[in-house]
Amino acid sequence: MISPIAHLRNADRLDRMFIGGEWTLSEPLARTGVIDPSTEESVAEIVLGSSTDVNTAVAAAKRAFAGWAATSPESRAQFLDRIHALILERTELFAHALSLEMGAPIGYARSTQVKLAAEHICVARDNLATYPFITHRGTTAILREPIGVCGLITPWNWPLYQITAKVGPALAAGCTVVLKPSELSPLSALLFAEVMQDAGIPPGVFNLVNGDGPGVGAALSAHPDVDMISLTGSTRAGVLVSQAAAPTVKRVALELGGKSPNVILPDADLSRAIAPGVAAAFRNLGQSCSAPTRMIVPRQHLQEVERLACAAVSEMVVGDPRSELSTHGPVANRAQFERVQAMIAVGIAEGARLVCGGPDRPEGLYRGFYVRPTVFSDVQSHMRIAQEEIFGPVLCVIPYDSIDEAVAIANDTIYGLGAHVQGGDLEVARSVAAQIRSGQVHINYPAWDPNAPFGGYKRSGNGREYGIEGMEEYLETKSVLGFQ
């Protein structure tokens, strides 16, 4: 198989944006390197766009909007079906790009990053078959119409997955889009733009502008012809986007940070609760906004939880992301590597008890942004490692003495994105889930549901993605009285 870098270079994509159905050059030609986190070396360069590119892309999206909004749901579903098929057909190319640009182990990139990304397109397609764009309330018709031109800003940790989670429902709703992927993981976005072109999407319906936050994200957020901004990123980025969007009163949907709890109830089977909890916390090497990195456990079971957690960590293979044997690769970039190392040092200084892992790289790895999967115990809820999003493989085990205290600890953060509850008595588990203030709660590690709405309470953001609610974010509501 040709490498994604060679593929994109041969096709002359690295120097270009996808605007109005064409691969266009950007002026001026500012560039940034794409860093392989396993070697810390630059493997390619991409062109960074500017406000000029944003203006061109938004104009193309605006021209295309009326025609795309007027297409039938059946026609839009056919386009989405082609996109879904092309993503799956190009799984290997996408997987190798993800492994190269953000360090995902190739097996994980293939089975999870790409597969679940394709599922978002599938869900958006299927929702079109049954969604009632017109309903009636007496003699009044309630119409759900596309909001318009949407600016989509996606992160580096789930590059393709977050693109499809936004592009799929936006196109299904009848919107046109301008995508700004993270400049740290742009390869999979360029490959996705090729998919859109090859699927025959009409010119201007989908546009891609590579760039950074100050150069492209801010311009997109402030643009008067952009009707909606959807951002997945840090809480800090969400604030900046909201501020830039405020003067034009556009809709802003934000999926931001998290510090998700995993409440282990007293009757939970620890042999079934702990290892999957560690795996969930360290999924994607902890670089997930909903990772359950606070494990809240009965104090009387603390020693057994520590033993089981360390046993689970010992089964992980941190290594070359191109190896089929690696379960975990490096963190995605230098800034994140330094952040994780700094927070492990903070945990030690705060007096949390280090039970496995710790600072520095794993043994035998001397370069690359590799970190040691780390578990702290006897963590107190006020500690920084229990309050701040670390975005790495660092688990905080927090003991409790009563279920009420466990719920209080679970809610004791500024975030409210995801949560987990483990317990034998389903009624009690449901009661605890109901008391946790977060947008999504998992009971006893259920299967992933792409139709379950996802989004946050508190400073984890607003709005919802996935499923029907994800598409409705891109719709306006119009009432037509006397419609009969």
Query: Model confidence over 207-243: pLDDT tens digits?
Result: 999 999 999 999 999 999 999 999 999 999 999 999 9
pLDDT of residue 120: 98
Across 7-16, 34-43, 88-97, 152-161, least confident range: 7-16
Start and end residues for every CATH 3.40.605.10 domain found in the chain: 4-256+461-480
Residue 475 three-state SS: strand
In which residue ranges of the chain is CATH 3.40.309.10 found?
A: 261-450
Please report the pLDDT score of residue 308 as a whole number: 98
pLDDT value of position 30:
87
Which CATH topology does 4-256+461-480 take? Aldehyde Dehydrogenase; Chain A, domain 1 (3.40.605)
Residue 155 half-sphere exposure toward CB, CA atoms < 13 A: 19
Q: How confident is the model at residue 286 (pLDDT cuts 50, 70, 90)?
A: very high
Task: Provide the 8-state DSSP code for 217.
Answer: I
Say how far apart CA 264 and CA 382 lie, in whole Å.
Answer: 19
Active site residues per annotation? 255, 289
Percent of the chain past pLDDT 70, that is, above it, reads: 100
> In this structure, which amino acid lies at residue 58?
V
User: If we measure between CA atoms, which residue out of 438, 295, 412 comes closest to residue 355?
Assistant: 295
Tell me the C-alpha distance between 309 and 354, whole Å: 12
Antiparallel, parallel or unpaired: β 206-208 and 176-180: parallel
Of residues 2 and 293, more confidently modeled: 293
Amino acid letter for position 299: R
pTM of the model: 0.97
- Which residue has 């670089």 as its token pair? 287
In terms of Cβ atoms closer than 10 Å to its own Cβ (0-12, 13-18, 19+), residue 200 is exposed
Beta bridge partners of 42: 35
The pLDDT of 133-161, averaged and rounded, is: 97
333-364 per-position pLDDT tens digit: 999 999 999 999 999 999 999 999 999 999 99
d(Cα 89, Cα 104) in Å, to the nearest integer? 20
With a cut of 80, say whether residue 95 has pLDDT above it: yes
CA quadruple 190, 235, 277, 185: dihedral, nearest 10: 20
Confirm if 147 and 173 have CB atoms less than 8 A apart: yes
pLDDT value at 29 more than 80: no
Distances (CA, A) of 369 to 317, 347, 473: 15, 20, 37
138 φψ region: left (φ > 0), alpha (ψ -120 to 50), beta (else)? left
Collect all residues with Cβ–Cβ distance below 8 Å to 333 and sequence separation of at least 6: 35, 37, 102, 156, 184, 369
Q: pLDDT-based confidence at 161, cuts 50/70/90? A: very high
Alpha helices in 174-294 (DSSP H): 187-198, 218-222, 235-245, 270-281
Q: What is the pLDDT of residues 405-444, one digit of tens each?
A: 999 999 999 999 999 999 999 999 999 999 999 999 999 9
According to the model, what pLDDT value does residue 27 have? 74
Structure token pair of residue 97? 């790009």
Q: Give CA 242 to chain center in angstroms.
A: 19
pLDDT tens-digit series, residues 260-269: 999 999 999 9
User: What pLDDT does 260 receive?
Assistant: 98
- For 441, the enclosing helix (H) or strand (E) is strand 440-443
pLDDT class of 484 with cuts at 50, 70, 90: confident
Q: Is 31 within 8 Å of 1 (Cβ atoms)?
A: no
Backbone angles phi, psi at 397, to 5 degrees: -95, 120
- Give dist(CA 100, CA 81) in Å, integer: 27
Distance of CA 163 to the CA centre of its chain: 8
> How does pLDDT run across 366-403, given as a tens digit for each residue?
999 999 999 999 999 999 999 999 999 999 999 999 99
DSSP β-ladder status, 461-462 and 251-255: antiparallel
Contact 57, 19 (CB under 8 A): yes
Mean pLDDT of 282-298: 97
- CA–CA distance, 200 with 132 (Å, rounded to integer): 26
Fold exhibited by the domain 261-450: Aldehyde Dehydrogenase; Chain A, domain 2 (3.40.309)
Residue 26 clears pLDDT 90, i.e. is over it: no
Residue type, 409: I
Residue 62 is given by DSSP the state H
- Asked whether residue 315 carries a pLDDT value surpassing 90, the answer given is yes
Average pLDDT, the chain: 97
- Is residue 2's pLDDT more than 90? no
Q: How far apart are CA 332 and CA 35, in angstroms?
A: 9
Does residue 198 contact residue 86 with C-beta atoms inside 8 Å?
A: yes
Q: Which residue has the higher pLDDT, 2 or 462?
A: 462
DSSP-assigned letter for residue 449: -
**In the numeric block, which tokens belong to residue 58?**
């938004």
Q: What is the pLDDT of residues 106-133, one digit of tens each?
A: 999 999 999 999 999 999 999 999 999 9
Are 262 and 422 in contact by the 8 Å Cβ rule? The answer is yes
> Measured in whole angstroms, how far is the alpha carbon of residue 261 from the centre of its chain?
18
Which residues face 296 on adjacent strands?
A: 263, 398
pLDDT digits (tens, 9 = 90+) for 48-83: 999 999 999 999 999 999 999 999 999 999 999 999
Q: How many other C-beta atoms can be found within 10 angstroms of the C-beta atom of residue 127? A: 22
Six token digits for residue 340: 């994780």
User: Residue written as tokens 């012809």?
Assistant: 225
The confidence score (pLDDT) of residue 209 equals 98
- Cα(181)–Cα(430) distance, integer angstroms: 37
The residue with tokens 């100050």 is 214
